Amino acid sequence: MLSTAEKLIEKVDYFPCGYCTNDLKRVFKDFDKTIVNFYAGVFLIKHKKMGYILYDTGYSMDLLKNNIKYFLYRFANPITLKKEDMIDYQLKEKGIDKKEIKYIIISHLHPDHIGGLKFFPNSNLILTKTCYNNYKLKRDSLLIFNELLPDDFENRLILIDDYKENSLFPYKNSYDLFSDLSMLIVEVDGHTKGQACLFIPEKNLFIAADICWGTQFLPLTDKMKWLPKKIQNNFEDYKKGSDLLKKLIEDNISVIVSHDKKEKIFSILKKE
Ligand SMILES: [Zn+2]
């Protein structure tokens, strides 16, 4: 283990940026009516040399606009948002200037992850090449709302590929983002193609985007109903992603997914 003085990751913070409400009965077989709020999680990582890095950006108030596409989205996926939930507002409250966010890792391009991108006109945007290629091919376009992306989105992209073996994360090849072993990007298919997860070795922490809706649901992957299965890019890959998370948890790595319970995420990050 590195000593505190040598640590590159000073802090990982979490911001719940709006939520959607769903009934687990609609998601898993043999479930009674159970209403759950799924928060859109945003993570802020403070790197000693690289400054602030955001992982995802949560929802945007734009989704409350009245057009048929957003109406359908909200009908299938009722959302609760107010301006105080937006990532720009929460950063300001914390005394962080959004100009200080040099990099944003975009796990994937679903609306609850890209909603806040327009708040950060100067940040470099990190996306996997797989995710980008799939976006260009307009696969999964049903859940990608182009208008939420900044106009110069493509100009600011840093595309990630060329994953390598790394003994710090022996489970799957990874990309050493800043070439200092502080943040490893790991690509996990299933929910979308080329979803970017993040392993922070110093914190023994794996941030796993939408590999599942909540780590407590991992044992229920096989009980997923037809429609929620269909929403995934590839359910066979989705199951492999679930298996990866189970293995990491078994090996005592702290695993967080974007829509995990707030209390759970806060308590994991407090331990670090
Ligand atoms: Zn998603």
Per-residue pLDDT, 272? 66
First to last CA, the chain: 13
> How far apart are alpha carbons 148 and 136 in whole angstroms?
16
Predicted confidence band of residue 248 (pLDDT cuts 50, 70, 90): very high
Going by their DSSP bridges, the two strands 205-207 and 254-256 should be labelled as: parallel
In the reported structure, the alpha carbon of residue 210 is separated from the centroid of ligand 1 by a whole-number distance in angstroms of 5
CB atoms inside a 10 Å sphere around CB 165: 9
How many whole angstroms from its chain centre is CA 246?
18
> How far apart are alpha carbons 82 and 88 in whole angstroms?
12
pLDDT tens digits, residue range 28-39?
999 899 999 999
In the reported structure, the alpha carbon of residue 2 is separated from the centroid of ligand 1 by a whole-number distance in angstroms of 34
Which candidate, 33, 118, 110, places its Cα nearest to that of 79?
Answer: 110
> How far apart are alpha carbons 135 and 129 in whole angstroms?
10
> Is 101 a domain residue?
yes
In the reported structure, the alpha carbon of residue 127 is separated from the centroid of ligand 1 by a whole-number distance in angstroms of 14
> Is 193 a domain residue?
yes
Per-residue pLDDT, 251? 98
> Is 1 a domain residue?
no
In the reported structure, the alpha carbon of residue 170 is separated from the centroid of ligand 1 by a whole-number distance in angstroms of 25
> Is 206 a domain residue?
yes
CATH number for the domain harbouring residue 266: 3.60.15.10
In the reported structure, the alpha carbon of residue 92 is separated from the centroid of ligand 1 by a whole-number distance in angstroms of 26
In the reported structure, the alpha carbon of residue 7 is separated from the centroid of ligand 1 by a whole-number distance in angstroms of 31
Mean per-residue pLDDT over the chain, rounded:
94
> Is 2 a domain residue?
no
> Is 118 a domain residue?
yes
256 phi/psi in degrees, rounded to 5: -125, 135
The domain in which residue 61 lies consists of 7-271
Per-residue pLDDT, 6? 79
| pLDDT score of 1 more than 70 | no
In the reported structure, the alpha carbon of residue 11 is separated from the centroid of ligand 1 by a whole-number distance in angstroms of 25
Task: Please compute the mean of the pLDDT values over residues 211-230 and round it to a whole number.
Answer: 94
Q: Supply 249's token pair.
A: 């948890």
> Is 57 a domain residue?
yes
> How far apart are alpha carbons 41 and 263 in whole angstroms?
12
**DSSP assigned state of 89:** H
Task: Please compute the mean of the pLDDT values over residues 6-34 and round it to a whole number.
Answer: 95
Q: What's the order of all strands across the beta sheet hosting 184-188?
A: 175-176, 184-188, 195-200, 205-207, 254-256
In the reported structure, the alpha carbon of residue 201 is separated from the centroid of ligand 1 by a whole-number distance in angstroms of 24
Q: How many domains are there within the chain?
A: 1
In the reported structure, the alpha carbon of residue 108 is separated from the centroid of ligand 1 by a whole-number distance in angstroms of 7
